[in-house]
Amino acid sequence: MRIRLGLAALSLFGGAGLVTLSAPPATAAATATATAAACPDIDVVAARGTFEPGDLGFIVGDPVYSALQKKITGKSLSGYKVNYPADLSLTSAAQGNADVVNHVKSQAAACPNQRFVLVGYSQGANVVDNSIGISSAGAVVGSPIVATIPAALEPKVAAVLLFGNPIRAIGKSVTGTYQSRTIDFCANGDPICQNGGTDVGAHLGYTANADAAATFAAGKV
């Protein structure tokens, strides 16, 4: 959530009635400073897994964001929790897909110099896959693509961090434009991302990869 504070008018009640004292016009320097404060250098857009608790996601999003804060020095960061159900409904991933694209477009318009790190875990990886043009249709909790990040904004996506990505279990992966900017973790035995995997616990262990993911992203921003 981003909060913008602005000084409007200060209203005082006196004996002669209502008196309004207006703040002086903002200087160009003050406006530039306020804009910079509202536009961190890096926006971390995190799509949590199915029913995953936490702010950006207890297993992946939160620990990755914390690791990014340590690894990316000299730049300011913000975090955005993708607004979608993250449940087992047929439209869940599609709703997340639409929200990611809408968020990136609106942020790019408001903050032209801002770059993005996209983070997706489990169903959230489907959300990110779709948003960068790789369909998750046919994968566990996947969906057809409903929106993609416009080509003009592709360079603003510095890194894509995926964990337990369901499309891998159906033989797919991120290819094309984003391939060199993507790191995709699939633990051995994870049944969500590995065809034939049987170790459910493996799907819950991606916190261990947060540091490696942040190191990768830091090398891309």
pLDDT in tens, 48-80: 999 999 999 999 999 999 999 999 999 999 999
Q: Which member of 78, 103, 131, 203 is catalytic?
A: 203
Residue 23: the pLDDT is: 38
The pLDDT of 108-124, averaged and rounded, is 98
Task: Specify the pairing of strand 9-14 against strand 17-22.
Answer: antiparallel
Angle between helix 123-131 and helix 92-110 axes, rounded to 10 deg: 50
What per-residue confidence (pLDDT) applies to 29? Answer: 37
Q: Tell me if 92 sits within 8 A of 86, measured CB to CB.
A: yes
Q: Look up 103 and say whether it is catalytic.
A: no
Q: Would you state the pLDDT for residue 37?
A: 53
Write out pLDDT tens, residues 168-207: 999 999 999 999 999 999 999 999 999 999 999 999 999 9
Q: Which of 62, 78, 92, 122 is catalytic?
A: 122
Residue 78: active-site member? no
- Cross-strand bridge partners of residue 182: 160
Examine the residue annotation and report whether 122 is marked as an active-site residue of this protein.
yes
Section 91-97 average pLDDT: 98
3-class DSSP state for residue 177? helix
pLDDT at residue 13, as a whole number: 24
